[in-house]
């Protein structure tokens, strides 16, 4: 072989070898994708047959924007909080570890059992037993006294497992609380959900789904106290009481980054809660509710695989943006079902009577009793530049009766006929 040919072969080999070396990297990437968990072959179709399908479900109409490309959540749901329409979903009924988003069910179950937020409790060693290693804590100390209000601030703002354990102890213990939470999940028709640990700490068999967490958040946001806690960015929390001295205190901040912001994540304009979570098994999870131009949306994202910082918040924000832009331009892929008790409510005669104090009227107003429970503080959420303001005497839009089939139909007709009241 001539010298010139040898040189040519050497150059060709030098160019070709890096390409050969690169092939295993592509194979590894494919293998990684193949190793990613996949949804079960059969999932619940509660809320509509499309919601039982694996993969992304969306029905775009004329002028509807396409879904964001940067979505990596194993499961997610975008829903209208008022009508209950599911605008789009991805593996909606996949049972996954929920992490601290399960605290929404804890709060929705137990808040009504402690109507007096001023009730005080002296924390004992038994109250704090069983808190999992590495748990998020608000900083509760044994032999210190806290009000129920303090404890709920610890649950909602700092996702404090210590606060959950104290409230659980006050509620007759772990077994009773788990029983009540599972019963409440059935009442809400959150049937993918099984509770083992009330604080959301990883436990064998503990699961929920994006669909269920959205149902649970929707139920919670109809309760004035739940709304207030979920929308509180910061609060002062009691510290240690030393003999002869004024009790110490410190500020706590909500761990919901779309509410308070963080490096690389701005507060989302219109955000009004709800709850985030993160554990080794569950990954990052989040359910958020936001309002824009009179439209209220709920989004749940579970376990995004993206390495992007704060991926669960970024993907939630993208889905909220999409939902607001797509509202009225997509055919719903399903619905958020009402709780079982709503069937009884729908059978009640419409005699025009005024609801008892504290009950929701047909137009969605809340009477004086609920305002008194919150100490007269209004519970509507005024939003300006992403900053939440509590408005006295008003009511948050999502606070309406469950959208039964008839009510949803009336709202649809009202959009076409201005003489029909929604």
Angle value at C-alpha 118, between 114 and 121, nearest 5 degrees: 75
The residue annotated as part of the active site, out of 75, 103, 197, 219, is 103
Separation of alpha carbons 65 and 78, rounded Å: 14
Token pair, residue 90, equals: 């991805």
DSSP-based helix, strand, coil % in the chain, nearest 5: 35, 20, 45
Annotated catalytic residue 33: no
CA 98 to mean position of chain CA atoms: 10
The residue annotated as part of the active site, out of 75, 100, 208, 209, is 100
Annotated catalytic residue 159: yes
Backbone angles phi, psi at 162, to 5 degrees: -65, -40
Dihedral sign, Cα of residue 258, residue 133, residue 220, residue 182: positive
Per DSSP, 189 falls in state T
Angle of helix 148-158 versus helix 103-110 axis, rounded to 10: 160
Number of Cβ within 10 Å of residue 244's Cβ equals: 4
For residue 13, the SS3 value is: helix
Among 89, 138, 102, CA closest to 333: 89
The residue annotated as part of the active site, out of 75, 136, 159, 169, is 159
Number of Cβ within 10 Å of residue 211's Cβ equals: 33
Annotated catalytic residue 103: yes
Catalytic annotation, residues? 100, 103, 159
């Amino acid at each position: 072989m001539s010298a010139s040919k040898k040189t040519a072969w050497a150059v060709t080999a030098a160019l070709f070898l890096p390409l050969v070396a690169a092939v295993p990297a592509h194979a590894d990437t494919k293998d990684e994708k193949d190793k990613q968990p996949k949804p079960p072959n059969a999932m619940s179709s509660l809320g509509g047959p499309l919601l039982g399908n694996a993969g992304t479900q969306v029905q775009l109409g004329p002028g509807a924007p396409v879904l964001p490309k940067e979505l990596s959540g194993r499961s997610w749901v975008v829903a209208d909080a008022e009508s209950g329409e599911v605008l789009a979903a991805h593996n909606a009924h996949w049972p996954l570890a929920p992490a601290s988003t399960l605290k929404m069910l804890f709060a929705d179950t137990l808040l009504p059992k402690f109507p007096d937020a001023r009730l005080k409790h002296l924390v004992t060693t038994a109250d704090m037993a069983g808190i999992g290693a590495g748990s998020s804590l608000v900083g509760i100390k044994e032999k210190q006294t806290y009000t129920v209000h303090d404890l709920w601030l610890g649950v909602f703002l700092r996702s404090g497992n210590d606060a959950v354990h104290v409230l659980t102890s006050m509620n007759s213990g772990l077994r009773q609380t788990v029983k009540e939470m599972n019963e409440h999940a059935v009442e809400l028709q959150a049937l993918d959900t099984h509770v083992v640990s009330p604080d959301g700490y990883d436990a064998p068999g503990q699961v929920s789904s994006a669909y269920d967490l959205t149902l649970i958040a929707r139920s919670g946001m109809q309760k004035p106290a739940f709304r207030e806690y979920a929308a509180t960015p910061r609060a002062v929390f009691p510290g240690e009481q030393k003999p002869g001295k004024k009790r110490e205190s410190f500020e706590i901040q909500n761990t919901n980054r779309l509410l308070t912001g963080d490096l690389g994540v701005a507060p989302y304009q219109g955000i009004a809660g709800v709850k985030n979570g993160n554990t080794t098994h569950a990954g990052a999870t989040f359910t958020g509710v936001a309002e824009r131009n009179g439209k209220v949306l709920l989004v749940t994202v579970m376990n995004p695989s993206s390495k992007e910082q704060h991926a669960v918040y970024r993907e939630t924000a993208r889905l909220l943006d999409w939902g607001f832009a797509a509202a009225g331009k997509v055919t719903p892929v399903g619905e958020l079902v009402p709780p079982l008790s709503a069937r009884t409510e729908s059978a009640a005669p419409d005699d025009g009577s005024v609801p008892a104090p504290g009950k929701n009227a047909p137009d969605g107003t809340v009477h004086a009793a609920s305002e008194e429970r919150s100490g007269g503080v209004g519970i509507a959420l005024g939003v300006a530049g992403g900053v939440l303001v509590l408005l006295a005497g008003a009511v948050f839009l999502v606070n309406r009766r469950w959208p039964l089939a008839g009510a949803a139909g009336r709202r649809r007709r009202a959009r076409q006929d201005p003489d029909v009241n929604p």
